[in-house]
């Protein structure tokens, strides 16, 4: 089993990574000072696949388990779902030493984390991510939250999990589309932080797509190491951590403008990364050969790179203005200077942004 430490003082925690380790979670929780009351929060699809195995592991460790099953999909990442969790916890008298366990992808993890951070002003939770995207990104770092009709992740908190438990065996049940959506976030780490990692992804496309366990563990581990390093330096996104949002200003706007139903999160981020690389070129920061290399890698993994031509552009630009990095109306973009290095750039004119978006339409 691989272990990566997220160093945050008294809020530090471990990311445990291995194969077929779901059955071992219960025993690993014995070292924590939890009460023996735990809730597994999941969706019907994931719970059917892994819920019984996880529940058995926890019950063997002496936990009393309830299941909270939420509808599946980004459109259900809202306060209504959080209310459902609160209702069950209150009915069953969960207290401050009880623990929530998020079993699922990024939507389940974000909702569960937000509920944990606000129930009784904060209780512990465990992340058990079952999608590639959640394993390399959303389960690590403590960002929790839900969407609003006007913007993605506009309601949320910073609340670190006590443990992240990554079992790569769950990837075998993922659809190819969901697997590739996770690859987008992995590519992001190469662009923002580690050019050698980007090179590795270019060379290992075939083995990654065939789920070679050694290569899969390597890319998940390296992605988590990068994110853990960034989060340890800047937990609350006051500076450095904003680089993790490369592709997200335009990507989130695409999700909002299309009602959260057209693209998976990773697909929208792939489009956003390509569009923001074009924007970096328009701003004179990066050569076109680097933009093409980014687009080529995304495309070879079967990811979309073009903004759909039928999108409502006014809704798209309006959603960008609501980006959480914006200060006094100035939208700040994370833009690559080269593969492996990015900068946070403000004061980009609307005209330049619009030019980049037009170039990115269905490319």
Chain mean pLDDT for the chain: 96
Confidence at residue 363, expressed as pLDDT on a 0 to 100 scale: 65
**Segment 15-36 mean pLDDT:** 96
Which ranges in the chain are annotated with CATH 1.20.1090.10?
Answer: 192-360
Residue 260 has pLDDT above 70, yes or no: yes
Marked catalytic residue, from 77, 188, 252, 274: 252
Confidence at residue 61, expressed as pLDDT on a 0 to 100 scale: 97
Tens of pLDDT, residues 266-281:
999 999 999 999 999 9
Marked catalytic residue, from 143, 188, 274, 281: 143
Confidence at residue 326, expressed as pLDDT on a 0 to 100 scale: 76
**Segment 259-265 mean pLDDT:** 92
Confidence at residue 307, expressed as pLDDT on a 0 to 100 scale: 96
Marked catalytic residue, from 188, 222, 241, 332: 241
* DSSP, res 262: S
Residue 138 has pLDDT above 80, yes or no: yes
Q: Which residues of 55-79 are buried (b: 16+ CB within 10 A; e: fewer)?
A: bebbeebebebbbbbbebebebbbe
- The Cα–Cα gap between 159 and 144 comes to 7
User: Would you call 281 a catalytic residue per the annotation?
Assistant: no
User: Would you call 185 a catalytic residue per the annotation?
Assistant: yes
CA 353 to chain centre: 25
Confidence at residue 149, expressed as pLDDT on a 0 to 100 scale: 87
User: Would you call 143 a catalytic residue per the annotation?
Assistant: yes
Q: Does domain 2-173 have CATH number 1.10.3720.10?
A: no
Marked catalytic residue, from 245, 276, 281, 290: 245
User: Would you call 227 a catalytic residue per the annotation?
Assistant: yes
- Position 136 confidence tier, pLDDT thresholds 50, 70, 90: very high
CATH of 192-360, one of 3.90.1300.10, 1.20.1090.10, 1.20.59.20, 1.10.260.40: 1.20.1090.10
Marked catalytic residue, from 235, 237, 276, 290: 237
Marked catalytic residue, from 55, 84, 227, 281: 227
144, 116 Cβ separation under 8 angstroms: yes
Marked catalytic residue, from 248, 274, 281, 332: 248
Which ranges in the chain are annotated with CATH 3.40.50.1970?
Answer: 2-173
Confidence at residue 320, expressed as pLDDT on a 0 to 100 scale: 92
Confidence at residue 325, expressed as pLDDT on a 0 to 100 scale: 75
Break the chain down into helix, strand, coil percent, rounded to 5. Answer: 55, 20, 30
User: Would you call 248 a catalytic residue per the annotation?
Assistant: yes
């Amino acid at each position: 089993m691989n272990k990566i430490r997220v160093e945050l003082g008294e809020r530090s925690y471990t990311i445990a990574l291995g194969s077929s380790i779901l059955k071992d979670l219960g025993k690993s929780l014995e070292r924590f000072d939890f009460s023996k009351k735990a809730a597994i929060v999941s969706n019907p699809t994931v719970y059917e696949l892994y819920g019984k195995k996880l529940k058995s592991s926890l019950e063997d460790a002496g936990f009393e388990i309830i299941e909270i099953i939420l509808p599946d999909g980004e459109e259900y990442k809202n306060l209504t779902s959080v209310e459902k969790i609160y209702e069950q916890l209150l009915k069953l008298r969960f207290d401050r030493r009880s623990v929530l366990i998020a079993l699922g992808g990024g939507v389940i993890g974000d909702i569960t984390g937000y509920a944990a951070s606000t129930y009784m002003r904060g209780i512990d939770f465990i992340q058990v991510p079952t999608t590639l995207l959640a394993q390399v990104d959303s389960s690590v770092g403590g960002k929790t939250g839900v969407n609003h009709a006007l913007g993605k992740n506009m309601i949320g908190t910073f609340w670190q999990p006590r443990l992240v438990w990554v079992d790569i065996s769950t990837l075998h049940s993922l659809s190819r589309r969901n697997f590739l959506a996770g690859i987008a976030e992995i590519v992001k780490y190469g662009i923002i932080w580690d050019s050698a990692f980007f090179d590795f992804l270019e060379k290992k496309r075939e083995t990654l797509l065939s789920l070679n366990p050694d290569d899969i563990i390597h890319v998940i581990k390296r992605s988590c190491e990068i994110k853990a390093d960034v989060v340890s330096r800047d937990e609350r996104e006051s500076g450095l951590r904003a680089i993790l949002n490369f592709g997200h200003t335009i990507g989130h706007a695409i999700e909002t403008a299309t009602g959260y139903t057209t693209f998976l999160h990773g697909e929208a981020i792939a489009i956003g990364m390509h569009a923001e690389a074009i924007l970096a070129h328009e701003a004179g920061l990066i050569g076109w050969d680097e933009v093409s290399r980014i687009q080529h890698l995304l495309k070879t993994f079967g990811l979309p790179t073009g903004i759909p031509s039928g999108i409502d552009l006014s809704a798209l630009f309006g959603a960008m203005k609501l980006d959480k990095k914006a200060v006094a109306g100035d939208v700040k973009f994370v833009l690559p200077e080269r593969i492996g290095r990015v900068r946070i750039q403000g004061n980009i004119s609307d005209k330049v942004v619009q030019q980049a978006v037009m170039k990115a339409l269905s490319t």
